[in-house]
Chain A
Amino acid sequence: MSYLLPALVGLVCFAMLAAAFVAIRGAGMAIAILAAGLVSLMASVLFLVLAAPDVAMTEAAIGSGLTTFLLFFVLGRVRGGEKEEGGHG
Chain B
Amino acid sequence: MVKRLVALALLAVFGLVFATLLTGYAPDAELNQTARYYAERTAADLGAANIVTAIIVTYRGLDTLGEVTVLFLAAAIVGLVLAEGAHDRSRMRPPVGELLTTGTRFLVPMILLLGAYVFVNGHLTPGGGFQGGAIIASAVLLMLLADPLRHFSHRLISAIESLAGILYVAIGIAGLFLAGGFLDNRILPLGNLGELASAGAIPLIYSLIGLKVGAEFSSMLASLSETEEP
Q: Is A65 touching B138 in the complex (CB atoms < 8 A)?
A: yes
Does B201 lie at the interface of the complex (its beta carbon under 8 Å from any beta carbon of A)?
no
Q: Is B229 touching A53 in the complex (CB atoms < 8 A)?
A: no
Q: Dominant SS at the B interface?
A: helix
Interface size for B (C-beta < 8 A) is: 22
Query: Distance in Å from the Cβ of A22 to the closest Cβ of chain B?
Result: 19
Taken residue by residue from 129 to 147, chain B's Cβ proximity to chain A (1 for < 8 Å, 0 otherwise) reads as: 0110011011001000100
Query: Distance in Å from the Cβ of A1 to the closest Cβ of chain B?
Result: 17
B134 in complex: contacting residue of A56, A65, A77, A79, CB < 8 Å: A65
Taken residue by residue from 60 to 89, chain A's Cβ proximity to chain B (1 for < 8 Å, 0 otherwise) reads as: 011001100110010001111000000000
- B138 and chain A: residue at smallest CB distance: A65
Alpha-carbon distance between A66 and B138 when the two chains are bound, in angstroms: 7
Q: Is A57 touching B230 in the complex (CB atoms < 8 A)?
A: no
Does B52 lie at the interface of the complex (its beta carbon under 8 Å from any beta carbon of A)?
yes
Q: Dominant SS at the A interface?
A: helix
Known: A58-B131, A65-B134. A77 touches B229 (CB 8 A): yes
Known: A66-B138, A69-B141. A57 touches B126 (CB 8 A): yes
Residues of A bordering B, CB below 8 Å = 53-54, 56-58, 61-62, 65-66, 69-70, 73, 77-80
Residues of B bordering A, CB below 8 Å = 50, 52-53, 118, 126-128, 130-131, 134-135, 137-138, 141, 145, 217, 221, 224-225, 227, 229-230
Between-chain CB contacts (< 8 Å), 14 pairs? A54-B50, A54-B126, A54-B131, A57-B126, A57-B131, A58-B130, A58-B131, A65-B134, A65-B141, A66-B137, A66-B217, A69-B141, A73-B225, A80-B230
The 4 nearest A-B residue pairs measured at CB: A53-B126, A61-B134, A57-B131, A57-B127
